[in-house]
Amino acid sequence: MAADTINVIMRSTESRFFYTTTKNKRNKEKLNLKRYDPVVRKHVMFVEEKMK
pLDDT, tens digit, for every residue of 20-48? 999 999 988 999 999 999 999 999 999 99
Using alpha carbons, select from 39, 32, 48 the residue that is nearest to residue 17: 39
Amino acid letter, 27: N
Which domains are assigned to the chain? 2-50 (2.20.28.120)
What's the whole-model pTM score?
Answer: 0.84
Residue pair 51/8 in contact (Cβ under 8 Å)? The answer is: yes
Question: Span 11-19, mean pLDDT?
Answer: 97
Q: How confident is the model at residue 3 (pLDDT cuts 50, 70, 90)?
A: confident
The three-state DSSP-derived secondary structure of 4-28 is HEEEEEEEECCCCCEEEEEEECCCC
Over residues 12-22, mean pLDDT: 96
pLDDT value at residue 15: 97
